[in-house]
């Protein structure tokens, strides 16, 4: 269509590429988890996070977050515990199993980033991260 891709697509293409690589690494290491699950899991805080907060962060509905959390729980990636501050709420916490997969995912990210850096140069990759981090301030419900 257009020769000039819109910014959304320009953001999506590397994202998708990186995601596939991370997914492949995690799968190869013997773990079964989907990319959507990994994405949500990354938003869980160190002391646990409420489902509704996860939903907001991931910019999806409560129900979607609920299904993702259900499946994460079934896979042993998270546990749900009571929120001591509110009887309605639960906290979603990272499991020990998840702690094991994190370094694998991080190594895969690092490997891809090294390739990107080799292509762009260190300064441009750093600049990219800086700009994206600033962009979070207006695009991330939780920035």
Partner DNA sequence: GAAGATAGTCAGATAGGCTGACCAACGTCA
Partner DNA sequence: TGACGTTGGTCAGCCTATCTGACTATCTTC
Positions in the binding site for a second copy (CB under 8 A): 1-2, 5-20, 22, 39, 41-46, 59, 94, 102, 105-106, 109, 112-113, 115-116, 119-120, 124-125, 127-129, 131-140
The nearer residue to a second copy, 67 or 109, going by C-beta atoms, is 109
CA geometry: angle at 9 spanning 20 and 118, to 5°?
A: 60
CB of 118 to DNA, least distance (A): 26
Residues 60-99, one symbol each (x = binds DNA by CB under 7 A, - = not), give xxxxx-xxxx-x--------x--x--xxxxxx--------
Three-state helix/strand/coil letters over 15-56? HHHHHHHHHHHHHHCCCCCCHHHHHHHCCCCCCCEEHHHHHH
Closer to a second copy at the Cβ: 89 or 127?
127
Structure tokens that stand for 107 in this block: 């190594």
Please name the residue that has the structure tokens 């939903």: 55
């Amino acid at each position: 269509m257009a020769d000039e891709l819109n910014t959304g697509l320009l953001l999506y293409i590397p994202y998708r590429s990186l995601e596939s690589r991370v997914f492949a690494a995690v799968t190869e290491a013997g773990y079964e988890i989907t990319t959507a699950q990994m994405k949500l899991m990354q938003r869980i805080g160190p002391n646990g996070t409420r489902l509704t907060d996860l939903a907001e962060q991931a910019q999806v509905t409560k129900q979607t977050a609920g299904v993702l959390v259900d499946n994460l729980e079934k896979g042993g990636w998270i546990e749900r515990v009571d929120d001591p501050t509110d009887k309605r709420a639960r906290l979603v916490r990272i499991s020990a199993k998840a702690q094991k997969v994190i370094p694998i995912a991080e190594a895969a990210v690092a490997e891809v980033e090294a390739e990107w850096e080799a292509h762009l140069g260190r300064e441009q990759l750093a600049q990219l991260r800086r700009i994206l981090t600033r962009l979070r301030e207006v695009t991330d419900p939780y920035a």
